[in-house]
Chains A and B, each alone.
Chain A
Amino acid sequence: AQSVTQLDSQVPVFEEAPVELRCNYSSSVSVYLFWYVQYPNQGLQLLLKYLSGSTLVKGINGFEAEFNKSQTSFHLRKPSVHISDTAEYFCAVRVAGGTSYGKLTFGQGTILTVHP
């Protein structure tokens, strides 16, 4: 089985400051890794994903994440945040390969609040 731990439940930052949202995972098999964002009263939107290849992954809205296999981490970063980045962020994993297209295991979420 897979599990995901998001180390911070809430992260407050000021506008234009850098931010890092931390995610660790546990799995006995290879996994794909994802970050999703959820704005209030909306569904989930994919920010970025790691399937294979370069461990630094760039996504939408200026976000990037680095896959670290030895530390089983997939931290999300943005060098300068905007008010509009205020949302809840979810890290998720899926077993690599096979037909598990729909089965993601999510972390508990990190609420990012950007202050002016």
Chain B
Amino acid sequence: DAGVTQSPTHLIKTRGQQVTLRCSPKSGHDTVSWYQQALGQGPQFIFQYYEEEERQRGNFPDRFSGHQFPNYSSELNVNALLLGDSALYLCASSQTGRLTGAGELFFGEGSRLTVL
């Protein structure tokens, strides 16, 4: 059973460019959340997608946007990249409605973005 997979694993961009990161959730999961983990920091919640809609959003500007597809996979898009966007971007999936697993997220290994 494949876990959460993310691509690409590493990428380098320059300021002002745009980037798209991709995530495939664990089999059977229908909800995808995205986190940003800056160096030396804990992950910070960006947003969550369920039924192809953004359900919750953290304190991130509109430059950060996302999408969820009918097969539950998801993309994170960041426009007008800033140096401060350099971070590890983590995708996590979960199965909504499973009370026994409430809050348990399965994380991918992340996409490390470097902005020069």
Contacts and interface: CB of A to CB of B under 8 A. Distances in A.
A45 B103 CA distance: 13
A108 to B, nearest CB: 5
A103 B42 contact: no
Interface string B39-77: 011111100100000011010000000000000000000
Interface residues of A, number: 26
B4 interface: yes
Contact of B48 (A44, A46, A101): A101
A116 interface: no
A100 B56 contact: yes
A34 B43 contact: no
A102 B92 contact: yes
B95 to A, nearest CB: 8
Contact of B109 (A36, A43, A99): A43
Contacts of B82: none
B43 A106 contact: yes
A108 B43 CA distance: 8
B94 interface: yes
Interface string A41-53: 1111110010100
B102 interface: yes
B35 to A, nearest CB: 8
B104 A109 contact: no
B14 interface: no
Interface of A: 4, 32, 34, 36, 41-46, 49, 51, 90, 92, 94, 99-109
30 contacts: A32-B103, A34-B103, A42-B109, A43-B110, A44-B43, A44-B92, A44-B107, A49-B103, A90-B43, A94-B103, A99-B96, A100-B103, A101-B31, A101-B94, A101-B96, A102-B31, A102-B33, A102-B45, A102-B48, A102-B56, A102-B92, A103-B45, A103-B48, A104-B43, A105-B45, A106-B43, A106-B44, A107-B42, A108-B40, A109-B42
